[in-house]
Structure 1
Amino acid sequence: MAKREVNMLTNLLTKLLKIDYPIIQAPMAGGITTSKLVAAVSNNGALGMIGAGYLSPTQLQEQIREVKELTSKCFGVNLFVPNDFQVMEDEIDKASKLLHKFQAQLNIENEQSVIPNKDDAFEEYNEQIKVIMEEKVPICSFTFGVPSIEIISQLKQHGIILIGTATSVVEAKAIEKLGMDAVVVQGSEAGGHRGNFISNHEESLVGLMSLIPQVSDHVSIPVIAAGGIMDGRGLLASLSLGAKAVQMGTAFLTCEESGAHPVHKEAILQAKDEDTIFTRAFSGKWARGIQNKFTTEMQKLEADILPFPVQNTFTQSIRKASSSQNNKDFMSLWSGQSPTLAKNETVEMLIQRIIKHAEKG
């Protein structure tokens, strides 16, 4: 009986990704997706993903090689697609002054933030693409936008499976039209940054259980469900609505192998269901996380928050100092909407628990 049930969890997507179970570990950037975490996920029958959004090409290459030493199974890399941004000098001065009071509370002195360079961002992104091809990474996913036709063509020529991220039907259709192989549909319940790139923030806040069947009815590529899924119930619900797999972030974030700060993990483990909010305070891009002192105070200053990635650069010292001081008041505590279902356990325990739950129905 159990064997037949597990077979119900296999489909064309699990075969394409060469995984035993329709579970993908969300590629959380910023050090959470350690080589140990990615390898553990892949070694236990799911798909491990490196969150490379903030990695330099050299750092990415090093981590890919580390993961290869820890697993012979399939794994992937996720990249942020660079976006154009404009910011005025007076806006920068005003935003910098607003952040001074937070820096003072953390004893940060003489902080001078360098404004990100758009050309540098695109150059680094192109170098990351080269690393992925050189290292023969089998799977590459994208967030904050879609790659160019030229990049898609290059990656396809190297036999790399491509996955886009969408928050609406129109975005999912755009991803399919570009020839990508699968689409992650990100419901409003998802933790961390929103992946919208056509729809604006308000339009992109469709709940996952509404989004899955609508996208499934409009695209023929496999749909991967993301947003608030923590156990076998979420997996089965997603599959029954038309998804071929789930992508889980918060559930893996609190695992032992995760590189998330202990304060971050504890904040999720202690959180209540109503504790998460959307904020632009840390990065300039809407993201879901646990409310704290910084997000509360920055809510009053919403109009003065700089666009991504400028705001992200300007708050870097605050986040870093807060982490080193074990101070949750100024950390970006990203979390999905189901924190009460999070557990402190190993990757193996989490995956086995999900599968056993799904087998029982």
Structure 2
Amino acid sequence: MSESRGGRWSSGTEAVRRLGVRYPIVQGPFGGGLSTAKLAATVSNLGGLGSFGAHILSPDEIFQVTKDIRSLTPNPFAMNLWVSDHDPGGLELSPEEFERVWALFEPYYRELGVPKPERPQRYTYRFEEQVDALLEARPPVFSFVFGVPSATILAECRKRGIVTAGAATSIAEARALDDAGVDLIVATGFEAGGHRPSFLARAEDSLMGTLALTPLVADRVKAPVISAGGIGDGRGIKAVLTLGAQAAQLGTAFLACEESGASPAHRAALFSDQSEHTALTRAFTGRLARGLRNRWSDEVGRVAQLPPFPIQSWFASQLKPAAIQAGRTDLVSLWSGQIAPNLRHRTTPALMESLIRELES
């Protein structure tokens, strides 16, 4: 079970000690090009745990990014992968199936002036290849979502001194991670932006809030708990520490900072009235994720049967560069958690300074 609740965080928690950081602050990992080495290193240099979402990277890119972050900070940081890299039917499409899926997206490609893409040899990199590269790169922390790595992989992490952290959206998932010997468990409430990392039940059936999930998990596992979802300031961190978490993971607050890979238009949207309207949708990737509502989520979200992940994600991603260049935030994913209307800081140093000050008050 977790350490006793209500104690001062500054005395240190087991999670803080295992991570090797100064403060119980974890930057959430972002996929899709939204993570940057600069963001991760800045958070780590300021006493938190910076993270990099690497699930779209090739093995060579994983090795290089790990090297890049290490060159920018001497402190611990995390590399994040998706254990489950595809849903049923998501590895390949026949030429006929490709044409049927293309028909769904053709109007948006035509609107943006993007030519029809060639049918790819692969829609994603496989986890098995990526994790081999990660183990070779040996980041201080390996965080993961959508499942539990094999016992062999976890044993290799222990052998190499890599701390492991896995995401859970339910009591059952937290127990599965704990039984496997994962070092830290990230209890992820449905308020969080980005993907719902459920792996034992449908994401739609695993929508527990952070303030309920945190004590339920902390009371039932041996591993220290990191709480995620709807946390954007020191008050949120203190709240989850009181409920049994030993650290807090913040995503949207860091995504809004200029050091992230978010486009200027995405960051602007996070600070606008649009931030009051988020939705859980499979429209962007084929997996359930929370982002700001826009035309794409409304129109594509109404399609009865979307292609599985990562095929849906691949078709949407081919449009992203043109949409961003044209300033078309109505046709790209704008990941955001429900806490976005309370965002105040536009740089990582300003955010970290505020979080630390609130924690110490």
Q: Are 1:96 and 2:97 matched, yes or no?
A: no
Partner of 2:4: none
1:197-276 correspondence to structure 2 within 5 Å: 197-272=199-274, 274-276=276-278
Bigger CA drift: 34-43 or 272-281?
Answer: 272-281
Is the 2:345–2:351 Cα contact (8 Å) retained in structure 1? no
Q: Quote the RMSD (CA, aligned, Å).
A: 1.8
The alpha-carbon deviation at position 143 of structure 1 amounts to 1.0
Amino acid in the other structure paired with 1:109: P
- What are the superposed Cα offsets for residues 45-74 of structure 1, whole Å, 9 maximum, x if unpaired? 000111101111111111111111111111
The structure-2 alpha-carbon separation of the partners of 1:121 and 1:69, relative to structure 1 and needing over 3 Å to count, comes to closer
> How far apart, CA to CA, are the structure 1 residues paired with 2:64 and 2:277?
36
Partner of 1:321: 322
Mapping of 1:277-296 within 5 angstroms? 277-296=279-298
1:108 corresponds, among 94, 114, 121, to 114
Structure 1 residue 115: Cα displacement = 6.4
Quote the Cα distance in structure 1 between the aligned partners of 2:163 and 2:50: 14
Provide the residue aligned with 1:144 in structure 2.
146
Q: CA contact under 8 A between 1:115 and 1:313: conserved in structure 2?
A: no
Alignment of 1:24-43 (within 5 A): 24-43=26-45
Alpha carbons 2:27, 2:50 under 8 Å: kept: yes
TM-score norm. by structure 2 comes to: 0.92
SS for the counterpart of 1:16 is helix
Q: Give how far 1:359 is off.
A: 2.3
Measured against aligned partners, the alpha-carbon deviations of 1:116-139 in whole angstroms (never above 9, x if no partner) come to 36xx743xx233223322223111
**What SS does the aligned partner of 1:54 have?**
coil
2:332 alignment partner in structure 1 = 331
Q: Which moved further from structure 2: 26-35 or 264-273?
A: 264-273
* Distance across 2 between alignment mates of 1:181 and 1:155: 10
Contact 1:92–1:306 at 8 Å: present in 2 too? no
Runs of 4+ with >6 A deviation = none
Residues 38 and 72, structure 2, Cα contact 8 Å, conserved in 1:
yes
- Structure-2 change in CA distance of 1:144 and 1:271 (3 Å): farther
Query: Are the equivalent residues in 2 in contact too, given 1:116–1:310 (CA < 8 A)?
Result: no
1:238-259 deviation line (CA, Å, top 9, x unaligned):
0000000011110001112111
Aligned length, in residue pairs: 351
Q: TM-score scaled by structure 1? A: 0.92
Q: Structure 2 vs 1, CA of residues 132 and 201 (structure 1 numbering), >3 Å: closer, same or farther?
A: closer
What amino acid is the match of 2:173?
A: E
Quick one: which amino acid aligns to residue 141 of structure 1? S
User: What's the CA shift string for 1:184-213, capped at 9, x where partnerless?
Assistant: 111000000110000212221001001001
1:167 counterpart residue number: 169
Match of 1:13 among 6, 12, 15: 15
- Measured against aligned partners, the alpha-carbon deviations of 1:284-329 in whole angstroms (never above 9, x if no partner) come to 000000011111111221x231111111111111222211222101
Structure-2 separation of matches of 1:42 and 1:242: 24
Instruction: Give how far 1:236 is off.
Output: 0.4
Distance 1:342 1:211 in 2: 23
1:189–1:336 CA contact under 8 A, matched in 2 = yes
In structure 2, distance between residues paired with 1:201 and 1:75: 28
Instruction: Select which of 186, 189, 199 maps to 2:188.
Output: 186
Asked if the contact 1:113/1:314 (under 8 Å) is kept, the reply is no
Between the aligned partners of 1:320 and 1:98, the Cα distance in structure 2 is 19
Query: Aligned-pair distance for 1:6?
Result: 6.0
SS for the counterpart of 1:228 is coil
* Corresponding position of 2:88: 85
Q: Supply the distance in 1 between the matched residues of 2:301 and 2:21 (Cα, whole angstroms).
A: 42
Equivalent-residue separation in structure 1 for 2:217 and 2:24 (angstroms): 18
Q: Residue type of the partner of 2:325? A: S
Superposition deviation, residue 92 in structure 1: 4.2
Q: Counterpart of 1:126 in 2: which secondary structure? A: helix
Q: What is the SS of the residue equivalent to 2:138? A: coil
- Tell me which amino acid in the other structure corresponds to 1:324: Q
Farther off after superposition, 20-29 or 89-98 = 89-98
- 282-291 or 131-140, which moves further after superposition? 131-140
Q: Give the letter for the 1:280 counterpart.
A: R
Give secondary structure in 2 for the equivalent of 1:66: helix
- Letter matched to residue 95 of structure 1: V
| Amino acid in the other structure paired with 2:357 | K
Distance, in Å, in 2 between the alignment partners of 1:7 and 1:96 is 54
Seen in structure 2, the aligned counterparts of structure 1 residues 135 and 357 have a Cα distance that, compared at 3 Å, is same
* Greater CA drift, 213-222 or 40-49: 213-222
Q: 1:20: how far off? A: 0.6
Give me the whole-angstrom Cα distance separating, in 1, the residues matched to 2:155 and 2:146.
19
Q: Which residue of 1 aligns with 2:3?
A: none
Segments of 5+ residues of structure 1 without an aligned counterpart are none
Q: Is the 8 A contact 2:275 2:292 kept in 1?
A: no
- Structure 1, 213-222 or 343-352: larger mean CA deviation: 343-352
Residue identity (%): 39
Residue 66 of structure 2 corresponds to which residue in structure 1?
Answer: 64
